[in-house]
Amino acid sequence: MTTDRTEPTPTVDEGDVDTLAEYIGAASSTVALTGAGVSTASGIPSFRGEDGLWDRFDPMDFHRRRFDADPEGFWQDRLSLRTAVYGDHDPEPNAAHRALVDLESMGALDAVLTQNTDGLHDAAGSERVVELHGTNRRVVCDDCGDRADASPVFERVGDGDCPPRCGCGGVYKPDVVLFGESLPEETIATAQRLAQECDLLLAAGTSLAVRPVSLLPKLVVDGGGSFVVLNLEETERDALADLVVRGDVTAVLPSVVDRL
């Protein structure tokens, strides 16, 4: 049975939209930091929070230690998780993704830093995307580092070829940062540099609860830049923000584009 994930039409505070547009219009360098709230309108459920996926799955089943000790069980559970995330649909970019592309095309956005692993920013057409936690669209060989499209590998797992192996004999791993793994040094260094150099960091659809990404706003503020939060609920960095907008990203971001 397909779950109906249709969201109600959000209400937009026009004053907040005007102010956010002013912030973006005045900044010479803006970076967006996106989280799960940007993907939910595409039918992708959140992992944390009420009715999140971690209420249905044990996060430790996807720990690096589990992958090393029991790659077959890891991959079987990973296939179940993938089915729960995507169901029987192929998620597509939504209005928030498209609005960020529009901002980039207008010269009002320099880069997107995303905690999401769904690849929808790339699919929407964003040119500069830093996938902080990797991408579910690829797998990587744990031995030789070869990368491949994930869909055929998951099909192999579903057909009983488990754990899936690379041509070199090594076991494929989802090309994401697992529990127990650190973000790649080059990736976090890029994110930190962009945060330190930008005039404005726009955190959209993220609770800012996970380190080290949650530390990026302080880098911006300490460097004299502005920090804006756009989220339906409170975040752990609201107190640092110059502006907090309570709203749905799929409504607010397109409205900001219209004003610019």
Catalytic machinery residues:
133
- Size of the chain, expressed as the number of residues it contains: 260
- 244: three-class secondary structure by DSSP: strand
119 CA to centre of own chain: 8
The owner of tokens 């793994």 is 181
Q: Which two tokens stand for residue 33?
A: 């930091």
Give the whole-angstrom CA distance, residue 41 versus residue 175. Answer: 24
Using an 8 Å Cβ cutoff, are 236 and 218 in contact? no
Q: Which long-range contacts (CB under 8 A, 24 or more apart) does 72-76 make?
A: 72/162, 72/163, 74/163, 75/157, 75/162, 75/163, 75/164, 76/157, 76/162
